[in-house]
């Protein structure tokens, strides 16, 4: 089931009514929300719900066993082994279901290059909805329990934490201690933050339904389908387009998820925080898909040793973490390479920062220019990485970058004033403080319900009219 569909709207209305009516009854509420979430998972294939149940059962049993092996509350060798085995099993489930094609293709490709001609028949496995989200949640829970940071939770709580439908499509990725306590709270049904929720869902729809597919169709897809036809300037704008398109698709989906959560009385942390306003690549990762960044830090970077096991290991840890993060966005070597590029950026920045600490501070730039120059460089480094992300192969990426750098002639008529305006407006919106919208939000809040209905229906109609004619491209999101 996808967010911007009539089916989801009807589904959500039913969930909304059930949520607020049953909230006074915790057990019934949890059972009902689990039923809704499993139905959401099973929309495409009923077996997907079984996968969620399996992942939850494994996580719950292993966490309980690990906790029993920690009588003092601190990790023991036994508890560590249990957690490692369970995490390995969860990763295996993810690899088998979401990355199988990628892995098989990579292995057979390598074998063929070595002279093996046997081709492995690839079974067409349909990837369960949201599998990367709930497997990441399960791993986080296991590690947290294994570290003694959280107590094991009831199976129903864990199952609902893993599969709660608002975050299943594209996150946010939340920690167990961010969500499960809310399942035990009873939010005031008279105080639903409706305007905040409507604004989030509306802005999410504009980004995910209007901007992302439009940019893909008008600029990015044609440019990258035949880069030799486009001029260097067009490919440069297409690189900006990829960055804005990916941002719009992912942040749009998470905004919708957060808005739906608010309407149900569940609050998620923010996932995107004006990433294109970043002044360094590290700042970018402090703003881009924050919740995933936190997960990667806590469950990949830190277990690898972070920075405290020796500075010489830090670059390796950063690189591994970035590659894992890249692969979350898609099962392909281009996504892994995108992670490598960002890993290089972060390592270089850390090295530069460390060197700067040892030296006398010297002002290379006038103070007034420092921030704009940092922003300009960061933005272009990020867009450069997105060329790798979008290009199917390294060769394609090199071709695109070569044509950009040489300002290759040509022209496919892809860059129009409207394309430039949409790109500029999206990037510029990152510099607009949230407070600017407070007046409009307050005015909307004071409207009579009938007027609110008119405004919201007009907004939905506008989004539908400007969106693509066919089904919406949520298939481009990760699993």
Partner 1 sequence: MSTTDTDAQRAPVPPGWPGDDPTLPDDLDALGARWWWWVGRRTRGRRVGALEGPGSRSSDADRTGERAAEGDGDDWPADDVAVADDELDLDDDPGGAGPRWTDRFRWRGSPPEDREPPDDDEPLPVDDDDLVAGVQPAGRVLVVLVATLVLALLVNVDDLVARVEAQPPGPARDRTLAVLHPVQDVGNALQLTRIRDALDALSGDGGDGPAATGRDGARRQDGDRAAPRGDGGDEPAGDGEGEEGTERDDGPRAPTPDDPLRVWVGGDFMAQAIGRSLAAAGDATGVVETEVRYEAASGLTRRDYFDWPAAVEEALDEHDPEVVVLVLGVNDAQGIVRPDGTPAQVDEPGWADEYGRRVGELMDRLGGDGRLVVWIGPPPMREPGYSARMAAITAIYAEQAATRPWVHVVDLARVVGGPDGAYADAVADPASGAPVAVRQPDGIHLTDVGSDLVAAHVMDLLRSQVDLSGAPGGDG
**Footprint of partner 1 on 186-205 (CB under 8 A):** 186-196, 198-200
Closest by CA to 97, choosing from 74, 78, 58, 124, is 124
**Taking CB under 8 A as the criterion, which residues in 113-132 touch partner 1?**
none
Residue in 246, 219, 247, 245 with CA at minimum distance from that of residue 231: 219
Q: Which is nearer to partner 1, 119 or 446 (CB)?
A: 446
CB of 346 to partner 1, least distance (A): 6
Q: At what angle do helices 155-163 and 131-146 cross, to 10 degrees?
A: 140
* Phi-psi sector, 401: left (phi>0), alpha (psi -120 to 50), beta: alpha
Q: Is 367 helix (H, G, I), strand (E, B) or coil?
A: helix
CB closer to partner 1, 398 vs 466: 466
- Window 145-184: residues binding partner 1 (CB under 8 A): 149-151, 153, 175, 177-178, 180-182, 184
Question: Least distance (Å) from partner 1 to the CB of residue 288?
Answer: 9
Q: By rule CB under 8 A, what count of residues binds partner 1?
A: 108
Is 436 near partner 1 (CB under 8 A)? no
Contact between 386 and partner 1 (CB under 8 A)? no
Reference 425, options 270, 211, 263; nearest CA is 211
- Helix, strand, or coil here: 66? helix
Among 100, 380, 430, 441, binds partner 1 (CB under 8 A): 441
User: What are the Cα distances from residue 97, in Å, to 94, 116, 475?
Assistant: 5, 26, 16
- Stated length of the chain: 479
Question: Segment contacting partner 1 (CB under 8 A): 74-82, 83-91, 125-133, 291-299?
Answer: 291-299
Binding mask 77-116 toward partner 1 (x if CB under 8 A, else -) reads ----------------------------------------
- Point out which span in 33-41, 112-120, 388-396, 446-454 binds partner 1 (CB under 8 A): 446-454
Binds partner 1 (CB under 8 A): choice among 262, 319, 419, 423:
262
Find the binder of partner 1 among 117, 308, 312, 358 (CB under 8 A): 308
* DSSP, residue by residue, 249-281: HHHHHHHHHHHHHHHTT--PPPS---GGG-SSH
Site string for partner 1, 213-252 (x = CB under 8 A): x--xxx--xxx-xx--xx----------------------
Which of residues 43 and 95 has its CB atom nearest to partner 1 in the complex? 43
Q: How far is CA 165 from the centre of its chain?
A: 15
How many CB atoms neighbour CB 182 within 10 A? 18
Under the binding rule (CB under 8 A), the answer on residue 438 touching partner 1 is: yes
- Report if residue 420 touches partner 1, rule: CB under 8 A: no
Residue closest to 211 by CA, chosen among 172, 236, 171, 240: 240
């Amino acid at each position: 089931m996808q967010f911007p569909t009539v089916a989801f709207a009807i589904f959500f209305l039913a969930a909304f009514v059930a949520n607020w009516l049953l909230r006074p009854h915790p057990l019934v509420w949890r059972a009902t929300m689990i039923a809704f979430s499993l139905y959401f998972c099973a929309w495409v294939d009923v077996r997907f719900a079984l996968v969620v149940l399996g992942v939850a059962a494994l996580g719950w049993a292993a966490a309980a066993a690990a906790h029993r092996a920690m009588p003092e509350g601190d990790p023991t060798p036994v508890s560590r082994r249990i957690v490692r085995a369970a995490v390995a099993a969860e990763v295996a489930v993810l690899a088998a279901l979401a990355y199988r094609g990628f892995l098989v293709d990579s292995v057979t490709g390598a074998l063929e290059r070595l002279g093996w001609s046997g081709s492995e028949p690839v079974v067409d496995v349909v990837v369960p909805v949201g599998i990367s989200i709930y497997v990441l949640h399960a791993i986080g829970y296991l590690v947290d329990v294994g570290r003694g940071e959280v107590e094991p939770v009831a199976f129903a709580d864990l199952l609902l934490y893993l599969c709660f439908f608002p975050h299943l499509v594209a996150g946010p990725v939340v920690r167990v201690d961010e969500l499960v306590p809310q399942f035990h709270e009873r939010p005031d049904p008279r105080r639903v933050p409706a305007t905040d929720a409507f604004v989030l869902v509306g802005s999410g729809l504009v980004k995910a339904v209007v901007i992302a597919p439009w940019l893909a169709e008008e600029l990015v897809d044609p440019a990258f389908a035949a880069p030799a036809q486009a001029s260097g300037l067009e490919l440069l704008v297409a690189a900006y387009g990829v960055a804005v398109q990916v941002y719009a698709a992912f942040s749009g989906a998470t905004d919708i998820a957060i808005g739906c959560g608010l309407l149900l009385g569940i609050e998620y942390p923010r996932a995107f925080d004006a990433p294109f306003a970043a002044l360094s690549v590290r700042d970018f990762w402090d703003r881009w898909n924050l919740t995933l960044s936190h997960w990667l830090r806590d469950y990949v970077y830190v277990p690898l040793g972070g920075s405290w096991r020796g500075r010489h290991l830090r670059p390796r840890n950063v690189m591994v973490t970035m590659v894992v993060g890249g692969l979350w966005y898609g099962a392909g070597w281009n996504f892994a390479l995108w992670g490598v590029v960002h890993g290089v950026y972060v390592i270089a920045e850390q090295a530069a920062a460390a060197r700067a600490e040892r030296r006398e501070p010297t002002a290379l730039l006038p103070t007034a220019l420092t921030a704009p120059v940092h922003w300009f460089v960061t933005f272009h480094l990020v867009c450069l990485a997105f060329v790798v992300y979008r290009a199917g192969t390294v060769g394609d990426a090199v071709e695109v970058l070569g044509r950009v750098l040489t300002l290759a002639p040509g022209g496919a008529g892809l860059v129009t004033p409207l394309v430039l305006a949409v790109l500029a407006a999206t990037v510029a919106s990152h510099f607009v403080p949230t407070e600017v919208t407070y007046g409009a939000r307050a005015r909307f809040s004071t409207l009579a319900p009938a007027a609110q209905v008119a405004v919201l229906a007009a907004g939905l109609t506008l989004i539908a009219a400007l969106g693509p004619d066919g089904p919406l491209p949520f298939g481009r999101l990760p699993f």
